[in-house]
Amino acid sequence: MQTILLTGFEPFDQDLVNPSWEAVRQLDGVQLGDDVQIVARRLPCAFATAGDYLAQLIAELSPVMVIATGLGPGRSDISIERVAINVNDARIPDNLGAQPIDTAVVVGGPAAYFTTLPIKAMVKAVREAGLAASVSQTAGTFVCNQVFYRLQHLLAGTAVRSGFIHVPALPEQVVGSGQPSMALAMLVEGLQVAVRAAWRTPMDVVEAGGQVS
């Protein structure tokens, strides 16, 4: 049985839950075919440990595809990331109290890595399922981007496709704030559709997904 590794993060910044993990955990063991299944794992929200733990999981599971997910506060849709940049610039401390500012994710590494996932096909599939989705041009500069960059750096030059997806907050996390959110059931469905599209699409579709500014 082949494995698709799907990760989410533990809660951070005083939240009691992280929707990325709450959604991903429900997909653990889901089969996308007779010979491939999703394995879900939770990453720590810490610069010092998240990337190393992800590398450990990849070595242990030998996945055929890896998709990391994280919370994107303020986002209103399932945001499939295009690029990871070689910069840590933390607005807030991580769960171990670290707050790196203007440091490299990988010293001497490339300025950026692009995802190797068929992001346009994934967005199209999620939208056709009736859920909001878009291509995102920035994964931020916090632990999400660090994990995304470390993932692409680790798998560069291999046949294992990989990338990152940001998800909105849950409704209960933004009560009274006016911030956007998405119900957990919709997150679960959207991620499953996105992962299935990634697995079944060998070459991305050509569709507009950029932004003017």
Q: Among 30, 42, 3, which Cα is nearest to 193's?
A: 30
Q: Residue 164 domain-assigned?
A: yes
Cβ atoms 3, 36 nearer than 8 A:
yes
Banded pLDDT at 211 (limits 50, 70, 90): low
Q: Among 90, 197, 186, 110, which Cα is nearest to 153's?
A: 110
Banded pLDDT at 133 (limits 50, 70, 90): very high
Residues annotated as part of the active site = 81, 144, 166
Banded pLDDT at 98 (limits 50, 70, 90): very high
Q: Domain range holding 113?
A: 2-200
Q: Residue 205 domain-assigned?
A: no
Lowest mean pLDDT among 1-15, 26-40, 158-172, 195-209: 195-209
Q: Residue 213 domain-assigned?
A: no
Q: Residue 209 domain-assigned?
A: no
Compute the mean pLDDT over every residue in the chain, rounded to the nearest whole number.
Answer: 95
Is 90 exceeded by the pLDDT of residue 119?
yes
CA angle 47, 122, 62 (to 5 degrees): 55
The pLDDT of residue 213: 52
The count of domains in the chain is 1
Q: Residue 84 domain-assigned?
A: yes
CATH of the domain at 156: 3.40.630.20
> Residues 14, 18, 22, 25: is their CA dihedral positive or negative?
negative
Q: Residue 155 domain-assigned?
A: yes
Eight-class DSSP state of 170:
P
Q: Quick one: what percent of the chain has pLDDT higher than 70? A: 98
The pLDDT of residue 128: 97
Is 70 exceeded by the pLDDT of residue 68?
yes
C-alpha distances out from residue 25 to 3, 28, 69, 188, Å: 15, 5, 11, 9
The pLDDT of residue 55: 98
Banded pLDDT at 178 (limits 50, 70, 90): confident
Q: Residue 210 domain-assigned?
A: no
Q: How far apart are CA 137 and CA 117, in angstroms?
A: 14
Is 60 exceeded by the pLDDT of residue 212?
no
Banded pLDDT at 123 (limits 50, 70, 90): very high
Q: Residue 208 domain-assigned?
A: no
Q: Among 72, 52, 48, 193, which Cα is nearest to 138's?
A: 72
Is 80 exceeded by the pLDDT of residue 207?
no
* Mean pLDDT on 8-13: 96
